[in-house]
Amino acid sequence: AQKITQTQPGMFVQEKEAVTLDCTYDTSDPSYGLFWYKQPSSGEMIFLIYQGSYDQQNATEGRYSLNFQKARKSANLVISASQLGDSAMYFCAMREDNTNAGKSTFGDGTTLTVKP
Amino acid sequence: KAGVTQTPRYLIKTRGQQVTLSCSPISGHRSVSWYQQTPGQGLQFLFEYFSETQRNKGNFPGRFSGRQFSNSRSEMNVSTLELGDSALYLCASSLSQVENTDTQYFGPGTRLTVL
DSSP B14-62: -TT--EEEEEEPPTT--EEEEEEEETTTEEEEEEEEETTEEEEE-S--T
Contact A77, A45 (CB under 8 A): no
Contact A101 B109 (CB under 8 A): no
Judged by a CB distance cut-off of 8 A, whether residue B60 touches chain A is no
Q: Is the peptide bond before B8 cis (omega within 30 degrees of 0)?
A: yes
Question: Which of B37, B101, B110 to mutate against chain A (most A CBs within 10 Å)?
Answer: B101
Q: Min CA distance, B79 vs chain A (Å)?
A: 23
For residue A79, the model assigns a pLDDT of 98
Express each pLDDT in A84-94 by its tens digit: 999 999 999 99
Average pLDDT over residues B39-52: 93
pLDDT of residue A1: 58
Does residue B40 have a pLDDT over 90?
Answer: no
Q: How confident is the model over A76-88, as a mean pLDDT?
A: 97
Q: What is the pLDDT of residue A98?
A: 60
Q: What is the pLDDT of residue B79?
A: 95
pLDDT digits (tens, 9 = 90+) for A17-65: 999 999 999 998 888 999 999 999 999 999 999 999 999 999 999 999 9
* Residue contact B101–A52, C-beta within 8 A: yes
Task: Tell me what the pLDDT averaged over chain B comes to.
Answer: 94
Strand partners, A79: A19, A64
Q: Cβ of B30 under 8 Å from any chain A Cβ? A: no
Determine, for residues A53 and B100 on separate chains, whether the beta-carbon distance falls below 8 Å.
yes
Q: For residue B22, list its beta bridge partners.
A: B7, B75
Phi and psi at residue A2, to the nearest 5°: -70, 135
Which residues in chain B are contacts of A104 at CB distance < 8 A? 33, 45, 92, 104
